[in-house]
Copies of this chain bind each other. A is one copy, B any other.
Amino acid sequence: MSFGESHGKCVGAVIDGCPAGLPITEEEIQRELDLRKPGTSLVTTMRMEGDRVEILSGVFEGFTTGAPICLMIRNADIDSSSYQNILNTPRPGHADYTAFKKYRGFSDYRGGGRFSGRITASYVMAGAVAKKLLRHVLNIEIIAYTLEIGGIRAGPFTLDEARAVRYSNEVRTPDIDSAELMKQKILEEKARGDSVGGIVECVALNVPVGVGEPVFSSLDSELSKALLSIPAVKGLEFGAGFEAARKKGSENNDQYVIEGVEVKTTTNYSGGILGGLSNGMPIQFRVAFKPAASIGKPQKTVNVVTMKESDIVVPGRHDPSVVPRAVPVVESVTALVLADLTIRGGLIPPVLEGNSPLRQTRS
């Protein structure tokens, strides 16, 4: 579970149900967090956060203990003064209005509070543990990247290129040429006080067959639920996705073949999921992000106290596009879902043994 607010004291996560015996360090988690960290390039927000993660519980002598793992980062660089004027005039495209109405004025409005993209730092912390677990036990690898930003789509690339290239550029795309175009597009719209949306694609490799619990905890159900919990996500498609809606069954059904000693399909229009269960092919899906709601241009709003229409210029520092920073968030959320379902499915035991240093010392 997640806790914390954008401009509160901290953002944190508590992981319950993580198996005992997983080696994990603050450094490993920090590495993932740094990928999401703002202020690292021109194309993202200038907010400089220290974002040092602290493991508060559940890890002892370098291994998880089976107890709840509490992870936390303190919020350091906070300037809330500019948010005073959004108190009664909700920013278009943000949760200000809906939160104000739901909580009747009691929600923490500063920087979007509980609804801020900053909350996704808690997904990344927890996701770092989930990633390590999946890699450690099942050799599962999760690779997300920017497929499209501001209408510019990454050129053709292989998965190996995606793995190698995506974090080498500020927009986290697997194709260097497109990376440059995307960056130009972002800076261009930033200069106009505007923002752009985009699409993140994610692939999970080595997921065993049968992950997912029918009916309501199917793999795609749980992934959808988790991915739609990322702010700014407005769409999601698995495998052929919306394109499948325009295909015939004879075109869309993936045909089975034998590859070595394994059953594979010749195509992967299903995105690796059949009947809500993984089928042994790569899990593949795309997530649509809307353009960042915070823009420099004047917009129309309503003063919710006086109930008069009003103009607003949104304060604060913002990402012209959330897409690059969303890449590690999508990976994290995917890892959390896969960890949860592989544990439920008995594919990861409650205690990981092996030749751990701890075990050596202790016995």
Contact = CB atoms under 8 A, between A and B. Distances in A.
A340 B21 CA distance: 23
Contacts of A97: 209, 256, 263, 274, 279
Interface stretch (A38-46, A134-142, A287-295): A287-295
B295 A250 contact: yes
Contact of A235 (B67, B103, B245): B245
A287 to B, nearest CB: 9
A291 B216 contact: no
Copies of this chain per assembly: 4
Contacts of A101: 209-210, 280
A51 interface: no
Contacts of A279: 97-98
Interface string A189-225: 1000011111100000000011000111010111111
Contacts of A236: 224, 235-237
A257 B269 CA distance: 43
A253 B104 contact: no
Interface string A284-302: 0000111111110101111
Interface string A242-258: 10111111111111111
A132 to B, nearest CB: 15
Interface string A112-151: 1111000100000000000000000000000000001011
Given A90-B256, A251-B291, 15 more contacts: A4-B57, A5-B58, A5-B65, A10-B57, A67-B108, A93-B270, A94-B274, A95-B274, A98-B275, A98-B277, A98-B278, A112-B275, A221-B226, A235-B237, A242-B242
Interface of A: 1-5, 8-10, 12, 14, 16, 20-21, 54-58, 60, 63-70, 72, 87-88, 90, 92-95, 97-99, 101-108, 112-115, 119, 148, 150-151, 189, 194-199, 209-210, 214-216, 218, 220-229, 231, 233-242, 244-258, 261, 263, 265-266, 269-271, 274-280, 288-295, 297, 299-302, 304-305, 307-309, 345-346, 349-351, 353, 356, 358-359, 362-363
